[in-house]
Amino acid sequence: MPYLRLMRPANLVTAVADILAGFAASSGALFIIPLVVEETGLLDAGTLAKNLLLLSLSTIGLYGGGVVFNDVFDAELDAVERPERSIPSGKVSKESAAILGIYLTVAGIILAFLVSATSGLIALLVAILAIGYDKWGKHTPLGPINMGLCRGGNLLLGVSGSVAVQGWTAPTTVPPYLVIPIQAFWPLALIPVAYIAAITTISRGEVHGGSKNALYLAFGLYGLVILAIAGLSKESPFPIWQSLPFLALFALLIFPPLIRASRDRQPRHIGLAVKAGVIALIAMDAAMAATFAGWVYGLAVLALLPLSRLLARAFAVT
């Protein structure tokens, strides 16, 4: 149990949602869910399903390793501010935690390379960004951007699961959004970058109380994220109404806790706003997934939300 607490199980589920959303953006979901589209023969559905599974396991390793190293590097600070955590409480040694972090991170990278070299290189970059944030980035003004880049990279990792097998010569009947190279998807990663930057900015007041300016910035970034996801419908064959319910749920999850925190900037309210923001990542990913693969796939992603909320009752999120 102390080792599981180090890995933040509720957060791991949100990382899998990133992969599912990225996979939808590159249209892989359309070819493995019979309810959405019939088998076309252009993509091997079995390979796509295997890629999706491998990348889901990969992100669990990458995210788990990242949060474990976070506690390893913050052991001395947590001994003062959060003595109940696994390392400062003595339930897990710093050395054992570091070994766990190494195993998880290396496993995440290897699993991604089993999909493709592109996936492996993205996973390696995410691991470097995560450990860099844990060790140095969080203590700099660029920390929120650093953390956001980890999530943006994770989304692109999901994209790579479908793009990696799109090596055919596309007939004219194939929609152009199915044959876009992976480098064309990098602007999509700016959405989680902005969102996670907002959450990270808020979280800096979790121990000593929040900053009014940081909370106002979060309001603005949250609004931009919602507008950006709504705008994605212009690049999708699915009408915008398929993603609007997911966007509405996303807004309902993130704004009320942030409003409460802005009215009373005590650590407890800040912590609840951060927790709500992390868990709401699944709703955000569901909205993106519905945009690119339809409401059925969006519901499949959203099904992870109850699991994450249940785990959040038993394990710390921040």
User: The domain spanning residue 38 has which CATH number?
Assistant: 1.10.357.140
Q: Is the pLDDT of residue 208 over 60?
A: no
pLDDT of residue 214: 82
50 Cβ neighbours under 8 A, 6+ residues apart: none
Q: Residue 22: which pLDDT band, with cuts at 50, 70 and 90?
A: very high
**Helices marked H in the chain — which ranges?**
2-7, 9-25, 45-73, 75-81, 94-113, 117-135, 143-163, 190-203, 212-231, 244-263, 267-279, 281-293, 295-302, 304-314
Residue 238 contacts residue 293 (beta carbons within 8 Å): yes
pLDDT of residue 167: 46
Average pLDDT, whole number, for the chain? 86
Q: Compare 168 and 199 and report the one with higher pLDDT.
A: 199
Q: Residue 12: which pLDDT band, with cuts at 50, 70 and 90?
A: very high
Q: Is the pLDDT of residue 98 over 90?
A: yes
pLDDT of residue 193: 92
pLDDT of residue 43: 53
pLDDT of residue 225: 95
**Secondary structure class of 42 (helix, strand, coil):** coil
**Secondary structure class of 48 (helix, strand, coil):** helix
Closest by CA to 120, choosing from 57, 69, 55, is 55
For residue 81, the Cα-to-chain-centroid distance in whole angstroms is 26
Segment 267-313, tens digit of pLDDT: 888 888 988 998 999 999 999 999 988 899 999 999 999 999 999 98
Angle, vertex CA 113, rays to CA 111 and CA 116, nearest 5: 125
Instruction: Provide the domain count of the chain.
Output: 1
Q: Residue 296 and residue 242: Cα distance in Å, rounded?
A: 9
Q: Is the pLDDT of residue 104 over 70?
A: yes
Hey, which of 24-28, 58-62, 177-181, 291-295 has the most confident mean pLDDT? Answer: 58-62
Q: Residue 205 and residue 211: Cα distance in Å, rounded?
A: 7
Q: Is the pLDDT of residue 20 over 70?
A: yes
Q: Residue 64 and residue 306: Cα distance in Å, rounded?
A: 20
This prediction's pTM: 0.87
**What is the amino acid identity at position 67?**
V
Q: What mean pLDDT do residues 144-148 have?
A: 89
Q: Residue 38: which pLDDT band, with cuts at 50, 70 and 90?
A: very low
Contacts 24+ apart (CB under 8 A), 140-144: 143/200, 144/196, 144/197, 144/198, 144/200, 144/201
Q: Residue 206: which pLDDT band, with cuts at 50, 70 and 90?
A: low
Residue 157 contacts residue 122 (beta carbons within 8 Å): yes
Q: Residue 242 and residue 231: Cα distance in Å, rounded?
A: 13
Q: Is the pLDDT of residue 41 over 70?
A: no
Q: What is the DSSP letter of 102?
A: H
Domain limits for position 174: 2-314
Closest by CA to 25, choosing from 305, 227, 285, 304, is 285
Hey, which of 166-170, 220-224, 269-273 has the most confident mean pLDDT? Answer: 220-224
